[in-house]
Structure 1
Amino acid sequence: MYYNQTKEHVLNEVKSNEKTGLSTDEARDRLERDGKNELVSVKNKSIICLFFEQLNDVLIYVLLGAAILTLIASEYADTIIIVLVVLINAAIGVFQEHKAEKAVEALKNMSTPKALVKRDGAVIEIDSKEVCVGDIVILDAGRFVPADIRLIESSNLQIEESALTGESVASEKDAFWVSTDEKTPLGDQINMAFQSTLVTYGRGVGVVISTGMKTEMGKIASILQETTNELTPLQKRLEELGKVLGIIALTVCVIIFGLGLFQGNDPMEMFVTAISLAVAAIPEGLAAIVAIVLALGVTRMSKKNAIVKKLPAVETLGSVNVICSDKTGTLTQNKMTVTTFYTYGKKRQSVSDDLISEDEKFMQQAFILSSDASIKDNQPIGDPTEVALVELGKAYQMEKETLEQQMPRVAEFPFDSTRKRMSTIVETNNQYHVYTKGAVDQLLAICDYVLLDGKKIQLTKEVKDEVLEMTLSLSNEALRVLGVAYKETNEILTNEEMEQHLVFIGLVGMIDPPRLEVKDSIKLAKQAGIKVVMITGDHKNTAFAIAKELGIAESLEQCMTGQEFDLLTEEERVQKVNQLSVFARVSPNNKVEIVKAFKANDNIVSMTGDGVNDAPSLKAADIGVAMGITGTDVSKGASDMILTDDNFSTIVEAIEEGRNIYNNIKKAVIFLLSCNLGEIVAIFLAVLLGWPVPLLATQILWINLITDTLPAISLGIDPGDKGVMLEKPRSKKESFFAHGATSRAVTGGLLIGITTLVAFVIGLLEQGVSFANISSVKHGDEAFIYASTMAFVVLAVSQLFYSFTMRNEKKSILQVGIFSNTKLVGSLVIGVLLQLIVIGVPFLQNAFGVTMLEFADFIYVFTLALIPVLINELLKLVTYLKTKK
C-alpha cells in the first residue's frame, strides 16, 4: 500500500533515486524482468472456432435433425432452407462476439505514447511501453500518466480521474499526504497518480510503483478477461424449448412408427408418416423468427437512441428488475451549475429569482473577474467550477468579455491546494480592485470586513458564525460552496499583500444537477417494479442529495460507501444489498461485487457506465449499458447496449421496448407451437384410428412455410401493450410457458388438429366414402386427394385466422382491434392467396398432391377454420367474467 507509506520508504522499496532516476542498464534489466508497460489481451478465438460454438445449441440440433429428415424424404428444397437458416444464425452470432477482446484492445489504445522520465540524471522522453518500476516520471498539464505512480513532488497538481474513479471533479494531489487507512478508496489516494488518467493543472514528479497488468488499469483488463458471458433469459428459455421439442419429435416418431407396424401397415409408409410427424413437431423457422423479431426490435430501439450490440440483450432488458446507474452524466447533466447564492444580511437566493440586490450583482462580478474560464461560441472553456460561475453571470446579463474590457486583469495569485483560493487584480477607473475566491473558511481568515448594502462593516464573530452556518447548511445539501471577497487599492500589490484585510462579499452553492426528465423515468421504473440504484465515485452526501431529489433514496441509511461494502462478508452483502439504493466512493471491483450481490438475489441487473472503471461491472451485469457521448471505448466494448444520448430515460424506454419484444416473441412461439401441435394431433388421431394420414410431408412443410414466416413475424412486431410498464418484471426462474401459455398452446393445437381431421372426413364423405370404410382409402385415390385438399386448406387457413386471437391472452380481437396490426392482416390475405394458388395451379397441384375444391366446400373450409378462433375468444370471455366476479 504505497499510499500509506512515506516517499522515502517507497523510493527505498523500489530501489530508485529521486535525483538521478534509474540508470539505462538498470531500466533495461527491469523491463526484461517485468515485461513492457502494456496491457496483455487474451488470444482471440479463430472465426472457425467461434462459428462452431454458435452451432452448440439444442434448438440448432433440432433444426439439423429436421434437415436430415427432409433430406430422407427427398424434400431437398426444404433441406436447403433449413441449413441456410442455421448458417445465417451462426454467422450473426460470430459477428456479435469479441466483447472482452474489444474492451481490452481499447484499454491498450488508451496507453500514452510518450513519457518524461529521469534516466542517468537527465530528463528524457521515452515510449510509455519502456517505462519500468522505479522510473522517476515528470507530470505536467495535458500529459497522460504512463503508469501507476507514487507522487514525490506536487505543485497545484490536479488530475482528471473520472474514467477510473467515476468522480466528476478533477482530483487535487498532494505528494506529502500519507494515508493512515489501509483501505483508502482510489479516489481518496491523493498522493497517487494512475495510468491513463490526465493531468489537467499544475506539475508533479513521482516514482513508478507498478506497470502493465499490475496497474489499476491492468487489474480492470484482467477482470474483463475473467468475466464469463452468461446466457440471457431468452436464450435459456429457447434452450429449454429446444430440448422439449427434440424429445417430442423423437417420441412421436417412435410411437407412430411402432403403432403403424403393430396395425400391420407397410414399414416404408410408416417411416414416411413418422418423418411427416417429426417435421410437424419441429417449428423449423423458430430460431429465424426469434432472430428477425429481435433484429427488428433493435432497429426500432436505435431510433430511440439505444444501440443494441447483441440481439438477445433486447429481450433481457424486458426482464430487468434492478438498474444500477452511474450518477454523473447519466442521472445528472455532467455540468456544474450554481443553484443558490447568499450575501450577508440577505436571505439565501435561488438562481431562478429575477430580482437581485446590488451586493449580489457585485458578488457575481467578483466571481467572474477572479475566474480563468470563458465561454466561446457557446462552448465552455476551463475548469467546470469556474465555468459555472461565468454562466451564472451570463444568466444575469453579465458577459465576461465585456467586464474584462472594462476592468482588465493586471496581476494574479494562482490557486493552490494549500491556500485553497485564487486572487486577481483588475484596473478600474484609475484604481485597482483585488478579487479573491476560494473555500469560505480560508477566505474568512483573511477578511476584516463584510459587505452590507454597499458598505463595509466590521467582520465580527457573530457575522462570521452566520456565514459559516450558511456554508455548512449548503454543504449538507451536497452543494459545493465557494466564497468571494474584495478590496480596493491604489497600486498593484504583491501576492501576499493581495490576500490581507479583505471585505467578504458572499458565497454560492453549486452542484451537477439532475437531468430534468430523469425523475419521471425513475417514477415509471418504480411503477414497473424496477429498483433504481445509484453507483458513483462521488462522496456519500453528494450522492444522497441527488438520489433523494430524484426519488431513488429516502434516507442516508439506504447509502453505503465502497469502503463500508468491502468490510462486509459475501453473505452479508447478499443480505444487505436489496436494502441499499446508493453506493458512493466505489472502486471498479466494488461495482462488480455490487452487481454480483444483486444477481445472487435472483435479480436481473442492468448496469450503466461511461468510464474505464465501469467496464468490468458492465460485463458482469446481465445487460451492460454504456454512454455513447461521454463513454470510453473500453466501456462501449464491454457493454451490450450503447445510449447515444447518455440519458437514463432512454434505458427505461428500452426496458419497455424489451418487455413488449419478449411478449411478442412469446406470442409468436406459442402460435407456432399451436400450429405444429395441430398438425401432430391431425396425423396422430388418424394413425390411432387406423385411417390414412390426411397430410403429406410436403404439405406440412408448405403450411409451416406460410405460417412460420409472415404471420409469426407480424405477431413478433405487434404494437406494444400500453400497460406493459404497470406489470412487475418477469421472474428470472419464470418458465416460457407460465401464465397459461401451455394451456393456450394445447387448446389451440387440439382445436386446429380436430377441425383439420373433420375437414378430411367431410371430404371423404362427399366423395362417396362411408365413415366405416375410411380406413380402406389409399394415398393417391381420387377421394383421398380431394379430402386431403380440404384438410390441407383448413389446416393452413385456421392457423392464419388463429394468429389474430394470439395477439392478446386476455383481450378479445375486437378490443385489440382487427386492423391495428396491418401487417398481420396482410399476412392473412397473402397466406390465403398462396393457398388458393397451390390448389388451383396444375403443376403445383401435382407437386403437393391436391386438387381444386368445389365452391360449396370453401364454405365448409372457412367455417371450420374459424372454429378455433371463436372457441378461444369464448374462453377469454369466460375467464374475464370469472375474474370480474
Structure 2
Amino acid sequence: MTVQQSDPRGLTADQAALSLAEHGPNTNPAPRPPSPWRRVLMQLRDPMILLLIAAAALTASLRDLTDLTVILVVVVLNTTVGVVQEIRAEHALTALNRMAAPHATVRRGGRATVVPAAKVVPEDVVLLQAGDIVPADLQLFDAVRLQADESALTGESVPVEKSASEELYAGTVVTRGRGSGVVTRTGPDSALGKIAALLSGQRPRATPLQRRLAGLSRVLSIAAVVLSAIVAVAGLVRGLPLPNMIVTAVSLTVAAVPESLPAVVTLALAIGAHRMAQRAAVVRRLPAVETLGAVTVVATDKTGTLTEGIMHAERLWTESGSAQATGSGYNPAGRLVGSPPLDQFAPGGTSPARELAPRGAPSVPTLSSADGGVAVRRLLRDVALCNDAALRPPTDDDPVWRPIGDPTEAALLTLAQRGGVDHLELTTACPRLHELPFDSVRKRMTTVHEQPGRDDLLVIGKGAPEVMLTPDVTPYGDIDRAKGVAAELSEAGYRVLAVADKIVTPDAPRTEDALHLVGLVAITDPVRHNAADVVGSFRNAGVDLLLITGDAPGTALAVADRIGVHDGEVVTGADIDDGRDPTTGRVFARIRPEQKLDIVRAWQANGHVVAMTGDGVNDAPALRRADIGVAMGKGGTEVARQAADLVLTDDDLGTVEAAIEEGRRIYTNIRTFLRYALSGGLAEILVMLLGPLLGFAVPLLPGQILWINMLTHGLPGVAIGAEPADPDAMRKPPRSPQEQILGAGLWRRIAWSGSLIGAVTLAAAYWVHRTGGPWQTMTYLVLGLSQLGVALALRRPGPARRLRHRTAGVRRFRFLDAAVAGALLLQVLPVFFDPLRDLLDLQPLAAHQLLVAVTVALIPALAIVSRRRRQAAG
C-alpha cells in the first residue's frame, strides 16, 4: 500500500469496522494464561504445602487415616483458595490494563477523533503531535519539524528527524513537531509487535513489598522450624513416638507461618488497584499501590489538576479595543461583548478571510486598521490560524463539546468562533505553508499562511508575554502598555498570551522577529470547587503540596491564595537556575518541564517520598524520577501516561488524595493481617511448648492444628486485606519510608496478643484438666475461637460504621464479619458433629464447659479493643 492510495480524509466508520474485523485489534501478543493444572502445580510448589505433602506421605505410611484425611483436606482447600486468589488478581489487573491502554487521534470521515489504540486499523490516517506514542507502523505524508525517539526499537538515544514519505514505527515517541501518516501495519505485524512476541513468555517480577514479605516469611519459617523441632525433641524426651512427633512438628510449622501471606498481599494490591480505578486513578505499576501510602510531598501542576482543566479564553485586549467572551466550556455558542461594540462580528458578519495586516511596520507592506472592532477581528483571525487544535462536537455517547489537541489552543479556537470566525472557512482561505511549533523552551509558536488573492504571506506568532513583548520580537506597537495590561491580567489569575503578526514577501526569510503587536488574550481555568478542601486534606495528612506552573508568578499566586497553598513568595525557574534550593518554596512559577526534575531530586534528597504530576513529553523524566509519577488521563500526552505509575482519568487532584488514602488502607491492612496471623502462630507455638509443663503430653494433635490454621488463615485473612480505610487515615502523618513491615511497634503488639491468646488457652485447658474433663478439646476450641475474636477486634471502623456508632451504635456488616462467622461455625461444628469429631479426635463438651470456652476466648479480643480505645482517648 502507498500513501497515494489512501484517502487523506481517512476511513469511514464502516470501513474501519470491516478492517478491524479483518486484521484484528492493534494489540501485541499477550502471554497465554496458565492452564488450570499448571496453576494447581504452582500452588503445590509452595514450601509449606510441600511440607504438608511430606507429612501426608508419612501419616499414610503409618496408616494414620485421621491425620491423613485432615492434611489432604487442608492441602486441597489451600490450593483451591490460592488458585482462586490468583485468578481474581489476574482479572483485576487485566481490567486495569484495558483502562490504561493508550489512545490515538485518527481522521475518520474527514473528522479528527480519538480512539483506543487497539482500534487503529491499516489505512487509518493518524494525526501526531509532540508527546504522542506512535500507535502502529505508518508512512508519513505530512511532517512539520517532526522528530521521533526510536530508542525503544533501536537503542539510539538521539531523536531522529522525520520527513514526509518516511516511516514511523509503533512504540516510538514523537518528541517534536507534528505530522500525519497512513497506517501500514498493526498489532503483531508491526515492528513493536514482533519484539513483543519475543517477550510474551516473561513472567512479571514481584513487587518490592512482596519481596520484603517473602524475606520475612523465610525468617519466620526458620524460626518456626526451630521451635517446632524443639517441640518434637521435647516429645521424644517424654517417650512419644518419633513418626507422630515429626507429623506434629510439620503441622505446627505450617500453622505458625502465614503461608497465605503472599497470596493475601497480591490480592490486596490487585483489588486495591482496581478500587483506585473505580475512583478514576488507574494504576499502571502495582508497586505504586504500596508507595502511595508513604507519600509525603505532592508536586502538582496548576492546569487541569487544581483547576477545572476546561480552558476559557475569556478576555482579549488590543490597542484600540477589548472584549469579553460569554459561553461555557468549548461550546462555540456565545458572543463577544466589549468596547467598541462588536455586534458586527456576530455570525454572518465580516468574512473571516478579510485581509487584516499590521500597521506601521516600514519593512513590510502595510494597511490601515479601521477601528477597535477590526483590531479584535484581526486578533481572532490570528489565534484561529496559529492553532493546531480542533473541536469535537457532541455525540450520542458524549453530549459535550471536547477539545482535540492542546486545551489552550482549543480555547482560542472557541473564542474565535464565538467572535464569528469560522475556523474551517478561514483555514481553507489561508492555508498554512510553514510553522515553528510551540515547545516549552521557546514558549511560542509561529505559522506562515497564504492570503487570498495576494502574493505576500502572513506570519503569525503567539506565546508568553515575556517572550513576545520584547524589542527584538515585536518592535512595532505599544509594547509598554501591553506589558502593563499583561501584568494586571496575570495578577488577576489569568494565563496571558501575546499575539503578533506581519506580512512578508514570498521570497523574504520566514523569521519570527520584526512582528507587529496585535493584542493579548487572557485565558482562565477556574479553580476546582474541591481544590481548597483537597489541599486541607493533604495538610491534615502531613503531605506537603507544591504548586508548579509554567504561568507567570502573578497567576501562580492568585491560584495559590484561593486554595490555601501560598506561603508568601514564589520560586521561579530563574531562581532555580541561579541555584536556589527548591525545598525552600511551595509555589513555583515559570517552571520549565525539565526543572521539575530538579524539584523532585531536591525533595527526595531531603528524605521525602514525592508524587509528581505531569502531562507533557518533557515531564516524562520527572515522572520517572518521582516515587510516584502521576499523569493526566484526559489532557496529557501519551508519553506522560506511559511514563507514569498512576493515571488520573479525571485529571482531578482529589483523585490523588483518594489514591493516597487507598495506599494507606492497603498497607495498614497488610500489617493488620500480619498481626492477626503471627499472633495466632505464636500462640500455637507457645501452647505446644508450654503445654507439657502443665501436664499436657501433646496439647494438640496435627489434624487439630491444621484445622485451626485452615479456618483462621483462610477467608478471615483475605477479608482483613479487603477491610475499608481507617476514617482517620488522612488525618495522620504518612509512615516513614524507612519503616520496616513489622516496625512502629507492630512486633511488640504481635508478641502481646499472641502471648495473651496462648495464656488464656492454656488456662482454660488446665482448668478442664484439673476437673478431669476433655482438656484437648478445650485447647482446640479456645485457641481457634480466640484467634477469630482477635480478627473481629482488629476490624477497621469504616465511615458508615462510625456514623452509625455516633447515631445508633450499630455495626455495619461486612465481608470480615461473614468470613469470621463461617470460620466460627466450622470451628465449633466438630465438637457437635460426630463424623468431624471423630476425624479430629475430639470429645464432647458439657454446656458449662462450652460457656467457659466462649467466655475465655473473648478475653484477648476484649483486651485489644480496650487497649485501642485507651490509646484513641489518650
TM category (shorter chain) comes to 0.5 to 0.7
Aligned 8 A contact 2:569 2:585 in 1: no
**1:716, distance to aligned residue in structure 2 (A):** 2.5
1:568-605 deviation digits (Å, cap 9, x = unpaired): 8xxx9xx8668676593344xx7677656654544334
**1:863, distance to aligned residue in structure 2 (A):** 1.2
Write out aligned runs for 1:695-706 (5 A). 695-706=700-711
**1:294, distance to aligned residue in structure 2 (A):** 2.8
User: Partner of 2:521: helix, strand, or coil?
Assistant: strand
Answer yes or no: is 1:675 the counterpart of 2:680. yes
**1:807, distance to aligned residue in structure 2 (A):** 2.6
- Distance, in Å, in 1 between the alignment partners of 2:507 and 2:707 is 90
The counterpart of 1:469, out of the listed 460, 478, 484, is: 484
- Distance, in Å, in 2 between the alignment partners of 1:649 and 1:690 is 61
1:14-36 deviation digits (Å, cap 9, x = unpaired): xxxxxxxxxxxxxxxxxxxxxxx
2:730 alignment partner in structure 1? 725
1:771 alignment partner in structure 2? none
The counterpart of 1:557, out of the listed 571, 581, 593, is: 571
- Distance, in Å, in 2 between the alignment partners of 1:584 and 1:684 is 65
- Distance, in Å, in 1 between the alignment partners of 2:548 and 2:711 is 50
Answer yes or no: is 1:307 the counterpart of 2:282. yes
Residues 1:824 and 1:581: Cα distance change in structure 2 (over 3 Å):
same
- Distance, in Å, in 1 between the alignment partners of 2:286 and 2:216 is 19
Aligned 8 A contact 2:500 2:517 in 1: yes
**1:554, distance to aligned residue in structure 2 (A):** 5.4
Aligned 8 A contact 2:486 2:496 in 1: no
Residues 1:856 and 1:714: Cα distance change in structure 2 (over 3 Å):
same
Shifted more, 643-652 versus 336-345: the winner is 336-345
Residues 1:857 and 1:473: Cα distance change in structure 2 (over 3 Å):
same
1:585 alignment partner in structure 2? 592
Shifted more, 233-242 versus 283-292: the winner is 233-242
Write out aligned runs for 1:152-171 (5 A). none
| Number of residue pairs the alignment of both structures matches | 708
Answer yes or no: is 1:282 the counterpart of 2:257. yes
- Specify every segment of 5 or more residues in structure 2 that has no aligned partner in the other structure, as ranges: 1-28, 60-67, 106-124, 134-141, 151-157, 160-167, 181-191, 197-203, 329-334, 343-372, 395-400, 437-444, 509-514
Write out aligned runs for 1:509-528 (5 A). 509-510=522-523, 517-528=530-541
- Distance, in Å, in 2 between the alignment partners of 1:163 and 1:290 is 38
Answer yes or no: is 1:78 the counterpart of 2:70. no
Identity %: 29
Residues 1:680 and 1:71: Cα distance change in structure 2 (over 3 Å):
farther
RMSD (CA atoms) = 6.4
**1:674, distance to aligned residue in structure 2 (A):** 1.7
**1:264, distance to aligned residue in structure 2 (A):** 4.6
- Distance, in Å, in 2 between the alignment partners of 1:426 and 1:359 is 28
2:189 alignment partner in structure 1? none
**1:686, distance to aligned residue in structure 2 (A):** 0.6
Answer yes or no: is 1:296 the counterpart of 2:271. yes
Residues 1:250 and 1:661: Cα distance change in structure 2 (over 3 Å):
same
The counterpart of 2:821, out of the listed 812, 819, 829, is: 829
Residues 1:56 and 1:642: Cα distance change in structure 2 (over 3 Å):
farther
- Distance, in Å, in 2 between the alignment partners of 1:823 and 1:143 is 48
Write out aligned runs for 1:235-274 (5 A). 235=210, 237-274=212-249
- Distance, in Å, in 1 between the alignment partners of 2:608 and 2:639 is 25
Aligned 8 A contact 1:547 1:553 in 2: no
Residues 1:858 and 1:542: Cα distance change in structure 2 (over 3 Å):
same
**1:275, distance to aligned residue in structure 2 (A):** 2.7
1:507 alignment partner in structure 2? 520
2:787 alignment partner in structure 1? 799
Aligned 8 A contact 1:675 1:749 in 2: yes
Residues 1:338 and 1:507: Cα distance change in structure 2 (over 3 Å):
same
For 2:571, the aligned partner's letter is E
- Distance, in Å, in 2 between the alignment partners of 1:697 and 1:594 is 58
1:113 alignment partner in structure 2? none
- Specify every segment of 5 or more residues in structure 1 that has no aligned partner in the other structure, as ranges: 1-42, 111-139, 148-155, 165-184, 187-193, 204-216, 222-228, 428-433, 447-458, 487-492, 497-501, 768-782
1:614-659 deviation digits (Å, cap 9, x = unpaired): 5565555444444444566665555444333343321221111111
Aligned 8 A contact 1:413 1:495 in 2: no
1:827-848 deviation digits (Å, cap 9, x = unpaired): 3332332233222222211111
- Distance, in Å, in 1 between the alignment partners of 2:740 and 2:380 is 62
Residues 1:479 and 1:707: Cα distance change in structure 2 (over 3 Å):
same
Larger of the two Rg values belongs to structure: 1
User: Partner of 2:730: helix, strand, or coil?
Assistant: helix
Residues 1:323 and 1:70: Cα distance change in structure 2 (over 3 Å):
farther
For 1:705, the aligned partner's letter is M
Aligned 8 A contact 1:798 1:865 in 2: yes
- Distance, in Å, in 1 between the alignment partners of 2:174 and 2:476 is 45
2:811 alignment partner in structure 1? 819
- Distance, in Å, in 1 between the alignment partners of 2:671 and 2:537 is 24
Residues 1:860 and 1:659: Cα distance change in structure 2 (over 3 Å):
same
Residues 1:460 and 1:552: Cα distance change in structure 2 (over 3 Å):
closer
The counterpart of 1:388, out of the listed 407, 411, 414, is: 411
Aligned 8 A contact 1:437 1:482 in 2: no
Answer yes or no: is 1:479 the counterpart of 2:479. no
Answer yes or no: is 1:197 the counterpart of 2:211. no
1:134 alignment partner in structure 2? none
Write out aligned runs for 1:364-375 (5 A). 365-370=377-382, 371-372=384-385, 375=391
For 1:273, the aligned partner's letter is T
Aligned 8 A contact 2:629 2:645 in 1: yes
- Distance, in Å, in 1 between the alignment partners of 2:405 and 2:631 is 26
Residues 1:318 and 1:560: Cα distance change in structure 2 (over 3 Å):
farther
The counterpart of 2:712, out of the listed 695, 698, 707, is: 707
For 1:645, the aligned partner's letter is D
1:358 alignment partner in structure 2? 339
Scaled by the length of structure 2, what TM-score is found?
A: 0.63
- Distance, in Å, in 2 between the alignment partners of 1:793 and 1:425 is 92
- Distance, in Å, in 1 between the alignment partners of 2:424 and 2:286 is 55
- Distance, in Å, in 2 between the alignment partners of 1:703 and 1:864 is 17
For 2:411, the aligned partner's letter is A
Scaled by the length of structure 1, what TM-score is found?
A: 0.63
1:321 alignment partner in structure 2? 296
Aligned 8 A contact 2:611 2:630 in 1: yes
Answer yes or no: is 1:755 the counterpart of 2:750. no
Aligned 8 A contact 2:490 2:552 in 1: no
2:740 alignment partner in structure 1? 735
Aligned 8 A contact 1:438 1:483 in 2: yes
- Distance, in Å, in 2 between the alignment partners of 1:633 and 1:445 is 37
Answer yes or no: is 1:531 the counterpart of 2:544. yes
Shifted more, 804-813 versus 613-622: the winner is 804-813
The counterpart of 1:856, out of the listed 826, 848, 852, is: 848
Residues 1:613 and 1:89: Cα distance change in structure 2 (over 3 Å):
farther
Aligned 8 A contact 1:369 1:404 in 2: no
For 1:469, the aligned partner's letter is G
Aligned 8 A contact 1:790 1:861 in 2: yes
Residues 1:291 and 1:158: Cα distance change in structure 2 (over 3 Å):
same
- Distance, in Å, in 2 between the alignment partners of 1:722 and 1:252 is 39
Residues 1:267 and 1:878: Cα distance change in structure 2 (over 3 Å):
same
- Distance, in Å, in 1 between the alignment partners of 2:552 and 2:483 is 21
Aligned 8 A contact 1:96 1:310 in 2: no
- Distance, in Å, in 2 between the alignment partners of 1:681 and 1:301 is 41
For 1:791, the aligned partner's letter is T
For 2:277, the aligned partner's letter is S
Aligned 8 A contact 2:321 2:376 in 1: no
Shifted more, 745-754 versus 261-270: the winner is 261-270
Residues 1:69 and 1:618: Cα distance change in structure 2 (over 3 Å):
farther
